[in-house]
A and B are shown apart, each in its own frame.
Chain A
Amino acid sequence: RKEVEQDPGPFNVPEGATVAFNCTYSNSASQSFFWYRQDCRKEPKLLMSVYSSGNEDGRFTAQLNRASQYISLLIRDSKLSDSATYLCVVNLYNQGGKLIFGQGTELSVKP
């Protein structure tokens, strides 16, 4: 079983749609959680951290359920510029801050 698993995708949605990404992790020692965005042939960029209480940044909302070891990302009113691959990432502090990346979910927003 992969340590971090995401929806396989790709997601093809029209502009303005709401889209949700799901992610599960297997290591209960995971201590911090992130969503990264990666554009084609570029490095990943931090989109947002994910907190237990849930957090929102503009059109983006992240949720964490530690009991279920589940993380989600909701994008509202999607824009063309949101097209990218979204990576679910967990940080293992007890392994020197190692980041474990999910395989990513590709999003394509169409006009």
Chain B
Amino acid sequence: GAVVSQHPSRVICKSGTSVKIECRSLDFQATTMFWYRQFPKQSLMLMATSNEGSKATYEQGVEKDKFLINHASLTLSTLTVTSAHPEDSSFYICSASNLAGVHEQFFGPGTRLTVL
């Protein structure tokens, strides 16, 4: 299957700082990338869908001004958690697809964010 990377794999930051997470498709062009969040003992929840060159579509209840998503190229999407707070501590996972998710989505290894 295709390879998707995420960086960093783990980040610990102070409350109030901003954290940027990168998601890269390494061997294919991802027209669509998805950002998920997973709290302990819970399932993955879709936060937003990102199409290259256009604004992301956010799920209900996800603040677009707090979770900034940029998908400037076909191989890179970034998620910035602005002014992070302890309740934002979670496992953030991206996935990438080359045809609006009609075909398989390939998941990155995830980023574990801890906000102190």
| Chain A interface residues (CB < 8 Å from chain B) | 41-46, 87, 91, 93, 96-104
Contact = CB atoms under 8 A, between A and B. Distances in A.
Nearest to A92: B101
Interface residues of B, number: 25
A86 to B, nearest CB: 11
A45 B57 contact: no
B91 A97 contact: no
> Which 6 pairs of residues, A with B, have the shortest CB-CB distance?
A97-B101, A43-B107, A101-B43, A103-B43, A101-B44, A43-B110
A21 to B, nearest CB: 14
Nearest to A91: B101
B89 interface: no
Contacts of B109: 42-43
Contacts of A87: 43-44
Contacts, number: 51
Contact of A43 (B42, B49, B93, B104): B93
Interface in B95-116: 95, 97, 99-102, 104-105, 107-110, 112
A91 B46 CA distance: 12
Contacts of A101: 43-45
A87 B43 CA distance: 8
A101 B97 CA distance: 17
Given A41-B112, A97-B101, A98-B49, 11 more contacts: A41-B110, A42-B110, A43-B93, A43-B108, A43-B109, A96-B57, A97-B97, A97-B99, A98-B46, A99-B46, A99-B95
